[in-house]
Structure 1
């Protein structure tokens, strides 16, 4: 697999894309990343203790209080009370309804290691390191580096085959960061940010650059010089400078439709439909124009294989998390179902987020879940429609017309008894022009002895406006 990281600076913000075999897999926007709280460390003040939820609400200096569960503390919860100051890390970003989820179990990531000051002498090794001898080597290094029973360490995928001195140097740097955080916390007496990630470029390099990266492409001269220095540690890495927008040069703009569209086409002619709710995402697979195979089972299996790979890509591209249900085309062969699950297992190895595959339900739906600590890309790029309130649907013109006529007639029946109503002005959406006909207008005018004026400039297709005049 050919893996490339593309940096584009041809707009007001820097954008970064991750390509695998020239296909867009992940995308990042500098200003959106800056607004995320996940991973940041704060000095927080407990505002409320809620035993019923086994949680604390903690003021960290942001718009909404954070949510700290008892199980995410590192001390006896009886010692914590309203007004207590604690050092916490954002475990998961909040949303429009609730604040961020917090933890006192701090971790500070580096390129090769994750340092855990309260790791309880634990040593973890990335599941993507398969060599038993390499795991043994890293575990021995971890035992040397950990100096007390409180701290812990995780060896990231990038640590594979990295020498001891390099790992030790990063470990000490991460410990120094934590010492500085503790010192800073002693000097302040209000909720405040104590630590955040380095700049955007460094964050991308740390999280996305690995030994499997073949190329970095940029349109910025300063970044080009910076990236060239990386070749000292990544011997197979090629760095390319292009003279036009790097996103345009790599064809990323043409692939961005996959990020915004509700329907995604498959190579064989099949179609995937994506429907998302707050807690659940459903993918529906349809063979559509795929009629090339010699029987239904083979057609279904081939379409489903393509869909499985594409859905795994969509999970990463849109940063979808939570419960995920996939309605594949029906397959009778159990071997084919197992192959679909294997595809997801293989694709999950490329994903930084943890994916748990439950398997096919009794109704034939594949159920899985994906863990996420940051908001999905659509929640960052899109706002809820003020008309349909996020449902993607509006009322039919017939329904709105009947509702408007009913209100008009009931109101006039009541108002004519109290006031001498002479004129009524009604504003409706333009799609009702075929319902409010001249005949209907004359019928109402004659029935209530009024002058009815109708315009079709109302902006909301779900509602209307009626004004009465004497």
Structure 2
């Protein structure tokens, strides 16, 4: 598989795309990443203790207080009081309703390892490192590096076959960062940011560049120079290319970005995936549609479902979808086919940085799984809720609104005419009601109530209207 990182620096915005076999799999926007809190370390003050939730609400200087569960503390929660200052790290960004989720179990990531000041002498090794001898080597290095029973480390995939001196150097760099964090906390007397990740490009290189990347493409002259100097030292086989036009245009990323927003995704064989999202879960529905490639119904369903499995795994990464996920595959009677679908999904999930747990098929034939995420989805970052439909995607039909307008006009004019000398009524409605307010209907209301009815079809909201009365 060809894996490419594309860096586009146009219109004063850095964007990065991850391509696999020239297909867009993940995308990052610098201006959106900057606003995220996940991974940042703060000096926080406990504002409230909520025993019923077994949690603290902690002021970290953000718009909303963070949420710290008792089980995410590194000390006895009974010793913490309102007003206590603690060092916390954001585990998960908040949303419109909730503040960020916090932990006192600090993780400081490097390229090769993650340093844990409160790791309790633990040594973790990436599951993607398959060699038993390499795991033993890394475990021995970990035992040599850890100096006390409090700290721990996790060796990342990039640590595979890296020499001892490089690992040792990074370990002490990360440890020094922790010492600086503690020093800053000592000198603070209010909630404050103690540590945040390096710049956007460094973050992408650390989190997405590894030995599986074959090529880096950029349209930025300075980045091209930097990559040739730094990247080649890590992996001399990586091809680094500078293009003269927008790198996203050159690699057809813009055309593929539509896949991030479409409700329906067409499959190569003619099938279609429909994606619907609720607050609690995301549902994928597969339809064979124009797919007639199979020898029979079962074979067609199976082949369509295989294509859908690969595409859904891609969509989870591309849109950064998380939480509960249900997939309504086309019915398959063969149990072996269902098992092969699950196995394929497991293989595709190995490419995903987020943790995916597959529960299996339910009694109704739905594949149930969950995906862990610490940062907001692409939808949440790029879109806001429609102020008219409130996210439902639906508005009242013109007929319904028309009836409401007529009802209110008739009822209010009946009451007002008794005690007020109403001569004119100004009514503003959405433009889609123009066909309902005919000349005949207007004349009928004017004659019935002896008023002049002025109609305006420039009201901005199709669900409402405005009526004003004048003597």
Asked if these proteins are the same fold (TM beyond 0.5), I'd say yes
Mapped to 1, the partners of 2:405 and 2:272 lie a distance apart of: 39
Q: Is residue 96 of structure 2 the alignment partner of residue 87 of structure 1?
A: no
Aligned to 1:132: 132
Mapped to 2, the partners of 1:286 and 1:441 lie a distance apart of: 48
- Deviation per CA, 1:41-76: give whole Å up to 9, x if none: 000000101111100000001111100000000111
**1:401 shift after superposition:** 1.1
Give 4+ residue runs of structure 1 displaced > 4 Å after superposition: none
Q: Which deviates the most, 263-272 or 369-378?
A: 263-272
TM-score (norm 1): 0.99
Aligned to 2:415: 414
- Correspondences of 1:349-360 after superposition (within 5 Å): 349-360=350-361
SS in 2 for 1:256: helix
Aligned to 1:384: 385
- Correspondences of 1:202-351 after superposition (within 5 Å): 202-229=202-229, 230-351=231-352
SS in 2 for 1:417: helix
Mapped to 2, the partners of 1:292 and 1:118 lie a distance apart of: 56
**1:381 shift after superposition:** 0.6
Mapped to 1, the partners of 2:365 and 2:397 lie a distance apart of: 34
Mapped to 1, the partners of 2:258 and 2:388 lie a distance apart of: 23
Q: Is residue 191 of structure 2 the alignment partner of residue 191 of structure 1?
A: yes
**1:140 shift after superposition:** 1.0
**1:371 shift after superposition:** 0.3
Aligned to 1:170: 170
Aligned to 1:75: 75
Mapped to 1, the partners of 2:103 and 2:130 lie a distance apart of: 30
**1:406 shift after superposition:** 1.3
Q: Is residue 164 of structure 2 the alignment partner of residue 149 of structure 1?
A: no
Mapped to 1, the partners of 2:5 and 2:134 lie a distance apart of: 27
- Deviation per CA, 1:174-211: give whole Å up to 9, x if none: 00000110111111110000000001110000000000
Aligned to 1:38: 38
Aligned to 1:402: 403
Mapped to 1, the partners of 2:439 and 2:363 lie a distance apart of: 56
Unaligned runs of 5+ in 1: none
- Deviation per CA, 1:250-295: give whole Å up to 9, x if none: 0101101001111111111111111112221111111112123232
SS in 2 for 1:16: strand
Mapped to 1, the partners of 2:433 and 2:418 lie a distance apart of: 29
Q: Which deviates the most, 368-377 or 404-413?
A: 404-413
Mapped to 2, the partners of 1:332 and 1:455 lie a distance apart of: 59
Tell me the C-alpha RMSD between the 2 structures.
0.9
- Deviation per CA, 1:341-385: give whole Å up to 9, x if none: 111101110000000001111111111100000011111111111
Mapped to 2, the partners of 1:357 and 1:103 lie a distance apart of: 26
Aligned to 2:50: 50
Mapped to 2, the partners of 1:296 and 1:416 lie a distance apart of: 69
Q: Is residue 334 of structure 2 the alignment partner of residue 371 of structure 1?
A: no
Aligned to 1:159: 159
Mapped to 2, the partners of 1:338 and 1:408 lie a distance apart of: 63
Mapped to 1, the partners of 2:270 and 2:419 lie a distance apart of: 65
TM-score (norm 2): 0.98
Aligned to 1:118: 118
- Deviation per CA, 1:278-337: give whole Å up to 9, x if none: 221111111112123232111111111111111110110010100011111111111111
SS in 2 for 1:7: strand
- Deviation per CA, 1:80-139: give whole Å up to 9, x if none: 001100000000000111110000000000001000000001111111111111111111
Aligned to 2:20: 20
Mapped to 1, the partners of 2:161 and 2:432 lie a distance apart of: 66
- Deviation per CA, 1:12-52: give whole Å up to 9, x if none: 21000000000000000111101000000000000101111
Mapped to 1, the partners of 2:118 and 2:165 lie a distance apart of: 24
